[in-house]
Structure 1
Amino acid sequence: MSTAKSTAAASPTSTTRARPSDRSRIAKLLNPNSVAVIGASDDPSRIGGRPISYMRSQGYAGKIFPVNPNRATVQGLTAYPSVAALPETPDVAIVIVPASAALESVTALAERGCAAAILFTSGFAEIGPEGAAAQAKLVEAAHAHGMRLIGPNSLGLINPCKHFYGTFATGCELAFPKAGGVAIISQSGAYGAHLMAVATANDIGLSAVILTGNEADLTVGDMLQMVVDDPDTKVIMLYSEGIKEAAGLVAGLEAARRARKPVLMMKVGRSAVGSAAAQSHTASIAGDDRVTDAVLKELGVVRVQTTEQMLDIARLATRGVYPANNTLGVITVSGGAGVIISDAADAVGLPMPAMPQASQERLLKLLPFAAPRNPVDVTAQYLNEMSLISTFTDALIAEGKYTSILGFFTYTGGVASIAPRLREQLKIARNKHPDCIFALSLMASRDLIRQYEEDGFAVFEDPSRAVVAIEAMGQFGRAFAKPAGLPAPIVGPVQLPASNPSEAAAKQLLASAGIASAPEEVCTTIDAAVRAAEKIGFPVVMKIVSPDILHKSEIGGVLLDIVDADGVRAGFNLLMQRGKTAAPQARLDGVLVAKQLKGGVECILGIHQDPVFGPVAMFGLGGIFVEILQDVVLHRCPFGTDVAEQMIRSIKGAPLLEGARGRPKADIKALAEMLSRLSAFAVAAGPRLQSIDLNPVLAMPEGQGAYAVDAVIEVTE
């Protein structure tokens, strides 16, 4: 199911300007055959000199055209006084000029036919409104000729596979990254370069490092699509401070999932302080973090909290094994380590089922004092009988059917008298089962760890870190295996009122989308209320009707258990009096008389207009489950009934709907239909819709439907 259209329509942060969409131009950023450096410096330590120095030292095979009107040569290369003087049109340009000269350079490059430019230049949107206006002119000049821009205020772009270093990141002086399959995309230049340096220090090969800067043109979403298209990229790491264009990011993440390319994301700005810092740093909206979590989970992204987690998971993901039904089998030489691993697996929800009983008995015959259940402890006896390692490990996979194996060998795996024989035994098991995840927890020299890695094992010093990474492979596997969802219901055009509707008007509006409520009638006189109650049937509920009183219960505006005509008469007078007393300026449109439903489970369904992702649906049980326990689930709108039912069954209180302890089963099918229709209504209503609160919704016993008892709709006037 695709919701890009609805998200783009509803998100205030989505870019609405027309943008060139030629992906072949964008692809040249990663693999240019020629690059012009505007503002090139002869000094390799200056910002304008570093890209040239880096590319020449690393063997970039393309052409480099330095542009500097004051020099005939730059770092031994022929220099040119202007873009117009270049001997040919470069694929990509790096712009390193003052902000006052940037527009002239961008215009000249665009007119010359350059595909894309990387703007190091700062002093634009990050400094305020005047800078933002100047930045918009850069984009306009580029787009006039189809050129694309990274930045401004970008630290650049690197492709180690092609030795292209369009960056001035000084971390390259520590060590240039080796070519590999992991792409880094970061809104923060400095932190993205930090990720590059740490990945390089941990021997993780990189296919790209992209530091997006202000995202005046190309956004994180665009760069995500670029690396999805890149055959060298196998795994993607994202660092985000704020999402500037939700529709593009969602499209890129969906493309990555279809291509089976794992995406890890460090989305910062969870706290109020962090969120404020993100907005001031990137001039973008952080949004509700719970919504971000829900959207990333929906799209198969593994969200990480630390750089360590990101690198651990990325390193294991490059192995390319993503089991949808992930289970962990453990072979250990330490019972204590087995307990630690079991606790870690339980904490992240990674199943560790026991070995089959027959297998346990067979292994005990081989080693009577082993612990064969899972974790499987071979004890120190393996030092005397090294073949136990391959025998027990093979049994874990062949008989236990575990999709992931973690071996704990501590420092013994790095000891010269043991390591060669241990590697040999582990490789025997590894070669028999190439489709299984193999991770080891051991201590060894960097060279020996590299040998284990070359044998096909991911090595972790801390077994708990290995467990977190292994569990993430299952998340990717489930995301890649997820079938296409059912389509969302079709809801016709929704005409929202000019201001917040009353409860009755809100229910009428929702009824057009097939969202049912109990039989009811708005009455303006006592006699009309009595006739309505007698027609509907007692008992009834009576509520004050006013578009200006959204929370009626707070002023005593709801009366329950009205059982006869006298009660209706008294109730009508009481409600009108309470309305006039509590809200003298409010418009009073009468009293709502409704059938009082009993026997259902109270639920809450809602819509929230998220500033980043547009309308987001919420489901939970009513009462304390929402107010105190916060047992709710969120999902981007719109979605089909299959997703709605998954949402309903995912909350902790779901057993109350499923017939726990002899309760009648609730009509979950009807509830899912209502939730799905509400999600479609929210998208059809457009960005003026701010929120919907259906609280309570009564989920009646199975086969008897679900009904909105109260409805509040808030709109932007």
Structure 2
Amino acid sequence: MTTFAQALLTPRTIALVGASGDVKKNTARPLRFMRKHGYDGHIYPINPARDEILGEKAWPSLAELPEPIDHVFVMIPGAGVEAILPDCARAGAKVVTIYSDGFGEAGPEGQARQQALVAKAKELGLRVLGPNSIGLADLHSGSILSVNAAYEASTLLPGEVSMVSQSGSMMGSLLSRAAARGFGFAKSVSVGNESDISVGEVVDALVDDAQTQVILLFLETLRAAPVLSRALQRARAAGKPVIAYKLGRSELGDALAQSHTGAMAGNDKAVDAFLRAHGVLRVHQLETLFEMVPLARRYGTARPAQRRAAPRVAVITTTGGGAATVVDNLGLRGLTAVAPPDDFIDLMASRGLKLRQTPVIDLTLAATPPQYKDLLEHLLRADWCDAVLSVAGSSAQFHPEYVVKPLLESEKSASKPLAIFLAPEAPESLQLLQQAGIAAFRTPEACADALSVFFDTSGGAMPAPVTTREWSAEFPTQGLLNEYEASQVFETLGVPVAPRALLTPGRTTHDLAYPLVAKVCSRDIPHKTEANAVRIGIKEQGGLSQALEELPANARAYKADAHIDGVLVQAMQDRLAEFILGYRDDPLVGPTVLFGAGGITAELTPDFALRLAPVSEDEAREMIAEVRHTQLITGWRGLPRGDIDALARAIAAFSQLAGLRGAHVTEAEINPLFVQTQGVVAVDGLIRLD
């Protein structure tokens, strides 16, 4: 019995609804492509107006077919798609790919049509890829259910790379670019509007595909994150690297950003945290998406558990200028070109090769091919560098035996990455290196991008276990909590909070030590400074009495209908530096936690680390190390050291907002969180619920 994955990726019986006999039309392409590239399964063109299409018998309807169908590719106008779904089900189809447009991408009316379409398909037991999908292909079998012109190529190179794309046109562009470089593909899938079958389900199917060893993703956004999460975990366990290129920040994230946390992080940062947590290699240059494949394939299991402060790259070159372009880009991405130490220079001198102690080992006109090979092998065994980069000059174009041949023949390390940048346009050398499974790059930017992504393992841990806590019945379950209520929630999680008291007309006494801070406590005024509703440095009872009169009056002048719960007084706290903790249930990826520079710095110069929530204390320490502002509490330039252990505990405790049950926390924030020499303390915060 045909499984869902087989029907999706490797169907043996296919119906083409709306197939055309006019070779100039897109709707003629799937049949032409499959016959051109040797598909040996059964193809049934469906067109009631034709008896024959491109030499094949045409069928008037799905109901007339002589055998069950695995997969139906629909190419008729959108208005008629839903009506043919019952025929698809009766024909035995498990998957229906819809090329037709006019659905979710076409505004509210199209969205309604799409919802009705998916509901009907679900009722009939059908799975839908699309609508608005340019199709999919299996290059090993020649099953090309696609109108993408990339498959017009005279020959298609089957390989071990599969691609899933949310953009049909970009999928074609990437396929053609990669094919020109000698990269062969196993499967390619355009998910279109992703109304039913999601990227995650396709990835899950590819994990079990024997012909797929590396999975590429071209993403515009993220949908069905839990499904994708499970698929990516399976890909990681199977040792199949996933490399992703994602377009920029989503407008959805900006629209939903209500606090500093949302404005600072945005959707793209949350998606980035999601991808990192699942070990996905997110590249920043489009060509790196496929150029990185050999690097990920050969060395993926050797990626470091933690990134060095600046990964060390040994650079050897036969072109000084070409090497400089790469070294410059390495520096921009946080990697260092490292000079060989004295003992290595002495070793190579004893082997007949004189080197200088410079960050780039320049062998221009200075080494024979055997010497180049010998140096390369010693670099790959050396303990003073983390990767080796070979930069080839004009010899790669005209005399590949000088540089490329030693690269091909040298004994490779199983754990130390080797990458090649070819400064000239050298397609023959690129092909040779690609065939040997060696990562070779056409631009210095893509080369540096790939090495940087390879070594960047920050945020590579899945969320920590959730500690479930019940929401207190004394707090609201909708809207914004006032600061006093929020502080109580933070305290129950284990976050230290400044000593405080809520003063009301019925309670005007307290046992706090002066000096004090006094703030209006109101759900309607989350940012109290703007309302002139804060007083600091109150030294005695007289000053507090004055504040108790003035602050509520100022708050009502700022917002006349604000409900005032009282005046919150806190004992003033010392600090070495102040930070922000943010929590957000992101609409795309779920709960996230943010740690960064606090106070006004949070708005002026964002400096933060973001993870899926909750996090462990170890992951919290990684977040602390990523934030530059934490140098103020690590003894930098003789400054006093803050309590990093207490800070890590507070971050981990705060992130357990993800485990609260009985209310849905959409956003929460502690800003600022003071770090002291002994301990940390939260002095302001908010919680928003829906």
With structure 1 as the length reference, what TM-score do the two structures score? 0.85
Deviates more, 1:441-450 or 1:197-206: 441-450
Partner of residue 283, structure 1: none
Show the 5 A alignment for 1:260-271: 260-270=239-249
Out of 366, 372, 377, the residue aligned to residue 389 of structure 1 is 372
Aligned to 1:517, what secondary structure does the other structure show?
A: coil
Report deviation, 1:159.
1.1
CA distance, structure 1, for counterparts of residue 215 and residue 85 of structure 2:
30
Out of 326, 334, 342, the residue aligned to residue 357 of structure 1 is 342
Partner of residue 253, structure 1: 232
CA distance, structure 2, for counterparts of residue 479 and residue 290 of structure 1:
13
Aligned to 1:242, what secondary structure does the other structure show?
A: coil
1:575 counterpart = 2:551: yes
1:491 counterpart = 2:469: yes
1:69 counterpart = 2:52: no
Matched to 2:88, the amino acid is: L
Deviates more, 1:323-332 or 1:196-205: 323-332
Show the 5 A alignment for 1:118-267: 118-267=97-246
Matched to 1:24, the amino acid is: T
Partner of residue 73, structure 2: 94
Partner of residue 515, structure 1: 495
Contact 1:606 1:692 in 2 (8 A): yes
CA distance, structure 2, for counterparts of residue 275 and residue 543 of structure 1:
29
Cα distance 1:537–1:199, how it changes in 2: closer, same or farther (>3 A)?
same
CA distance, structure 2, for counterparts of residue 643 and residue 431 of structure 1:
33
CA distance, structure 1, for counterparts of residue 404 and residue 432 of structure 2:
9
CA distance, structure 1, for counterparts of residue 547 and residue 283 of structure 2:
56
CA distance, structure 1, for counterparts of residue 250 and residue 463 of structure 2:
33
Cα distance 1:452–1:303, how it changes in 2: closer, same or farther (>3 A)?
closer
Cα distance 1:624–1:131, how it changes in 2: closer, same or farther (>3 A)?
closer
Cα distance 1:24–1:494, how it changes in 2: closer, same or farther (>3 A)?
farther
Q: Which string of whole-angstrom CA distances, capped at 9 and with x for unpartnered residues, describes residues 478-505 of structure 1? A: 489x566642433324664444232212
Cα distance 1:161–1:521, how it changes in 2: closer, same or farther (>3 A)?
same
CA distance, structure 1, for counterparts of residue 548 and residue 423 of structure 2:
76
Root mean square deviation of aligned Cα: 3.2
CA distance, structure 2, for counterparts of residue 503 and residue 438 of structure 1:
54
Partner of residue 505, structure 1: 485
Show the 5 A alignment for 1:579-590: 579-590=555-566
Matched to 1:639, the amino acid is: V
Matched to 1:563, the amino acid is: K
Q: Which string of whole-angstrom CA distances, capped at 9 and with x for unpartnered residues, describes residues 387-434 of structure 1? A: 21122212212335645332223111333xx43365543344236779
Unpaired segments of 5 or more residues in structure 2?
256-264, 305-310
CA distance, structure 2, for counterparts of residue 687 and residue 306 of structure 1:
42
Unpaired segments of 5 or more residues in structure 1?
1-21, 277-285
Aligned to 2:62, what secondary structure does the other structure show?
A: coil
CA distance, structure 2, for counterparts of residue 264 and residue 402 of structure 1:
25
Matched to 1:50, the amino acid is: R
Report deviation, 1:179.
0.7
Show the 5 A alignment for 1:520-535: 520-525=500-505, 528-529=507-508, 531-532=509-510, 535=511
CA distance, structure 2, for counterparts of residue 632 and residue 274 of structure 1:
17
Contact 1:181 1:318 in 2 (8 A): no
CA distance, structure 1, for counterparts of residue 252 and residue 545 of structure 2:
54
Matched to 1:352, the amino acid is: A
CA distance, structure 2, for counterparts of residue 274 and residue 202 of structure 1:
37
Contact 1:489 1:640 in 2 (8 A): no
Report deviation, 1:369.
5.3
Report deviation, 1:367.
5.0
1:566 counterpart = 2:542: yes
Q: Which string of whole-angstrom CA distances, capped at 9 and with x for unpartnered residues, describes residues 554-602 of structure 1? A: 2332222223333332332333443344433322332223222224532
Give % identity: 29
Partner of residue 32, structure 2: 53
Aligned to 1:307, what secondary structure does the other structure show?
A: coil
Partner of residue 333, structure 1: 318
1:297 counterpart = 2:276: yes
Matched to 1:523, the amino acid is: L
CA distance, structure 2, for counterparts of residue 230 and residue 538 of structure 1:
68
Matched to 1:714, the amino acid is: R
Partner of residue 110, structure 1: 89
Report deviation, 1:651.
0.2
Partner of residue 552, structure 1: 528
Aligned to 1:536, what secondary structure does the other structure show?
A: coil
Report deviation, 1:444.
6.5
Cα distance 1:340–1:367, how it changes in 2: closer, same or farther (>3 A)?
farther
Aligned to 2:26, what secondary structure does the other structure show?
A: coil
Partner of residue 420, structure 1: 401
Report deviation, 1:188.
1.7
1:684 counterpart = 2:655: no
Aligned to 1:162, what secondary structure does the other structure show?
A: coil
Aligned to 1:94, what secondary structure does the other structure show?
A: strand
Cα distance 1:320–1:584, how it changes in 2: closer, same or farther (>3 A)?
closer
Q: Which string of whole-angstrom CA distances, capped at 9 and with x for unpartnered residues, describes residues 29-76 of structure 1? A: 111121111222333443332111111111112111222333333333
1:471 counterpart = 2:452: yes
Q: Which string of whole-angstrom CA distances, capped at 9 and with x for unpartnered residues, describes residues 626-666 of structure 1? A: 13221122223233332223212220011223233444433
CA distance, structure 2, for counterparts of residue 178 and residue 714 of structure 1:
53
Contact 2:73 2:97 in 1 (8 A): yes
Aligned to 1:144, what secondary structure does the other structure show?
A: helix
CA distance, structure 2, for counterparts of residue 637 and residue 508 of structure 1:
20
Aligned to 1:157, what secondary structure does the other structure show?
A: strand
CA distance, structure 2, for counterparts of residue 624 and residue 243 of structure 1:
31
CA distance, structure 2, for counterparts of residue 183 and residue 438 of structure 1:
22
Contact 1:615 1:636 in 2 (8 A): yes
Q: Which string of whole-angstrom CA distances, capped at 9 and with x for unpartnered residues, describes residues 267-314 of structure 1? A: 2243879999xxxxxxxxx96333333333333333334432323223
Partner of residue 627, structure 2: 651
Report deviation, 1:181.
1.8
Aligned to 1:49, what secondary structure does the other structure show?
A: helix
Cα distance 1:24–1:648, how it changes in 2: closer, same or farther (>3 A)?
farther
Report deviation, 1:708.
1.8
CA distance, structure 1, for counterparts of residue 494 and residue 413 of structure 2:
56
With structure 2 as the length reference, what TM-score do the two structures score? 0.88
Q: Which string of whole-angstrom CA distances, capped at 9 and with x for unpartnered residues, describes residues 348-370 of structure 1? A: 22343332321202323555754
CA distance, structure 2, for counterparts of residue 27 and residue 171 of structure 1:
23
Partner of residue 676, structure 2: 700
Matched to 2:391, the amino acid is: F
Cα distance 1:673–1:401, how it changes in 2: closer, same or farther (>3 A)?
closer
Deviates more, 1:645-654 or 1:494-503: 494-503
CA distance, structure 2, for counterparts of residue 49 and residue 686 of structure 1:
56
Aligned to 1:110, what secondary structure does the other structure show?
A: helix
Deviates more, 1:46-55 or 1:302-311: 302-311
Q: Which string of whole-angstrom CA distances, capped at 9 and with x for unpartnered residues, describes residues 447-495 of structure 1? A: 45423433443333444533332333334xx489x56664243332466
